[in-house]
Amino acid sequence: MSYCINPHCPKPIDLANANNPICRNCGSQLLLQNRYRVLKQIGQGGFGNTFEIDDIGKTKVLKVLTENNPKAVELFQQEAKVLSQLNSVSHSTRESRQGSIGDCMSQLHSASHSARGS
Ligand SMILES: [Zn+2]
């Protein structure tokens, strides 16, 4: 099962996307960083959406920022710091997770721009 995190996707839950690296409905990446597959959305609200992801067999939580203002980014980074401390993950794991969050943010912004342009 794959979930498309593009907020403008016409069909984020599509069984036909199960093994696709790219969403067949909007062209967004489904396999983030070539390793994280989004399973489902588990939360929505505030400045971002929360997703359950599969990291090569391990289930993790990914939060994607949807607001692009300084206060939102600040809160987001604080929460990411707290979450990474709670999970007590290793330093290298923490770095790769933050990298994936950054990639998601840029992907979402480019997706929303192209959606508006069409
Ligand atoms: Zn999509």
Q: Report pLDDT digits (tens) over 53-110.
A: 998 888 888 888 777 788 878 877 787 777 766 654 443 444 444 444 444 444 444 4
What separation in Å is there between the alpha carbon of 41 and the centre of ligand 1? Answer: 13
Distance 40 CA to ligand 1 centre (A): 13
Q: Residues with Cβ < 8 Å from 72, sequence gap 6 or more?
A: 47, 48, 65
pLDDT, the chain, mean: 74
pLDDT of residue 30 exceeding 80, the answer is yes
Q: Could you tell me the two tokens for 19?
A: 């093994």
The alpha carbon of 45 and the centre of ligand 1 are apart by a number of angstroms equal to 20
The pTM for the full model equals 0.59
Res 114 pLDDT > 60: no
Tokens of 52: 């359950």
Measure 86 CA to ligand 1 centroid, in angstroms.
31
**Which residue ranges form the domains of the chain, and what is each CATH number?**
15-117 (3.30.200)
Residue 117 is predicted with a pLDDT of 44
